[in-house]
Structure 1
Amino acid sequence: MTNPLNDRVALVTGSSRGLGAAIATTFAAAGAQVVLHGRDASALAAVRSRLGAAAMPVTGDITVSSDLARMRDEILARHGRLDILVANAGSTTSRPAPIEDITEESWRADIDRNLTGTFLTVKTFLPVMKEQRSGTIITLSSAAGRKPSERTIVAYAAAKAGVQLFTQDLAAQAGPYGIRANCLAPETILTETNQRWIPADVQRSLAEAHPLRRLGTPQDVAQAALFLASDASSWITGVVVDVAGGAVLA
């Protein structure tokens, strides 16, 4: 199918760069009417310039309910519906540390940005989809929430593990309304930031630790998101897809 998302309205949070920008670009190429989201208007404008004027930018903080409500109202005023929600926004500025050294402030910040933000985003837009009795929701977790490690950022990993169970509960509750919910869990993706900050020798070492012997790309994640957003996955809900090159193996 040439345009598997033809004319569907898709909001991708955190789409001013990285994985979100790749997902938004892939969705637009698949025929979706894309809504870009971020907190940096200039970064959003740069992505929009690649997608064209039809892409709608919205700004706001996903941890602030009033920002999300305003975004919802803006999207409905322009499009009247929302068919696809990708709750991608999330981040951490923490570093791996022993549990006893983690500050309450950094713990709360990671939980807020990654788990609470996902919850508030879904909470805001779920009633729209329930009224339509249709929709697809994709959340973003991480391999950090799939496999314990001494080197993990504990609060970030806990938040991403929470996103997975939240998504499965969401799938159970929303299914009777014709809404599917699935989760992507990427691992070591070479975004522009990672390419800049991870030395080449470390990249090679990390690649060798994966069964597929390479690191992931934003496009790997975007293609998985496209599958879950399209009718090709119409009988799939409540699953976590490891976009991880085999790194998350029991």
Structure 2
Amino acid sequence: MGSYPSLNGKVVLITGGSRGIGAQTARAFAAQGARVCVVGRDQAALAAVVEEITALGGTAMSAVADVTDAAALAAARGVVEAELGPVEVLGAFAGGQGYPATTAELTEQRWRQVLDSDLTSAFLTVQTFLPGMVEHGRGVVLTMSSSAGRQPSQANLAYGVANAGLVMLTRHLATELGPRGIRVNCLAPSSIRTETVAANMPEAVQAQVAAKHPLARLGTPQDVAGAALFLASDDAAWLTGLTIDVAGGRVTN
């Protein structure tokens, strides 16, 4: 990965940080000298990420929280600010729930669950940590959408709608918060070979999916983390309101 000296010493908080893209992004920020807090519901998985970072000489901590619960997020904010200080870079990366299903199969309960986990969670996360950024007149917010929010896909309708909503949430926040010194950008990955994908998608299917991308491979969590580092750094100081398709060229606008 590139070197971003402006990230050294920054307080970075990543939701969805227990595994996959979130965990790799936390490792990448820590390698730049940032002080990192990973947030999620799996205490053991969070502890493993923290242990890995600290073993390499980085600074990391964890906070267990359900990111669809405003009170739990407020408690996490208190914990991280007491130990590391105000959050300067916020990665609202929690989400998922993109399993294929026809619209006829979607229940009302499932619709609400997906929108809560992917869209409402990002809203609540930003709302929780925004006051500290406003107070200090600076900050970076990174949201996590998906290629499913950029074009129709095999993912269920609720997931596509929630991720499209994240794109507009990003643009709205960027316009609103730019005058306060806060930049907001969005990452929209396509097919990423996370631990879950590697374990559950047969190699032959992975090859078929990879062939649909102009770069002829699946993405990696490192690919997404690299884009996150750039957007959070001073090298991207004139960039806000963007959605970056980390998609190997497979993008239809």
3-state SS of 1:180 partner: strand
Which residue identity does 2:102 align to in structure 1?
P
Of 147, 150, 164, 1:146 maps to 150
State the Cα distance separating 1:36 from its structure 2 match.
Answer: 1.2
Contact 1:3-1:29 within 8 A present in 2 as well: no
> What whole-Å deviation, never above 9, does each CA across 1:113-148 have from its counterpart, x for those lacking one?
000000000011111100010000000000000011
Deviations 1:61-114 (A, max 9, x none): 00001000111111121233111000001121x632322221001100000000
Question: How far 1:2 moved relative to its partner?
Answer: 5.7
Aligned match of 1:212: 215
Name the CA distance, whole Å, in 2 between partners of 1:196 and 1:152. Answer: 19
CA distance in 1, matches of 2:240, 2:17: 23
**Alpha-carbon RMSD:** 1.2
Residue 225 (structure 2) pairs with residue 222 (structure 1): yes
**Structure 2 match to 1:187:** 190
Q: How do residues 43-192 of structure 1 correspond to structure 2 at under 5 angstroms?
A: 43-52=45-54, 54-92=59-97, 95-149=99-153, 151-192=154-195
CA distance in 2, matches of 1:178, 1:101: 44
Report the 3-state secondary structure (helix = DSSP H, G, I; strand = E; otherwise coil) of the residue aligned with 1:166: helix
More displaced, 74-83 or 164-173?
74-83
Structure 2, unmatched stretches of 5+, are none
Measure how far apart 1:4 and its partner are: 3.6
The two structures have a TM-score, normalised by structure 1, of 0.96
Distance 1:165 1:195 in 2: 31
Amino acid at match of 2:81: L
TM-score (norm 2): 0.95
CA 1:10–1:40 in 2, change beyond 3 Å: closer, same or farther? Answer: same
Helix, strand or coil: the match of 2:96?
Answer: coil
> Matched residues, percent identical?
49
Confirm or deny: 8 A CA contact 1:4 1:31 kept in the other structure: no
Q: Is 1:40 matched with 2:42?
A: yes
Are the aligned partners of 2:41 and 2:65 in contact in 1 as well (CA < 8 Å)? Answer: yes
Which amino acid is 1:5 matched to? L
The residue aligned with 1:197 is 200
SS at match of 1:55: strand
Residues in 2 aligned to 1:95 and 1:50: alpha-carbon distance in whole angstroms: 30
Moved >2 Å (runs of 4+) = 1-4, 94-98
The corresponding residue for 1:23 is: 25
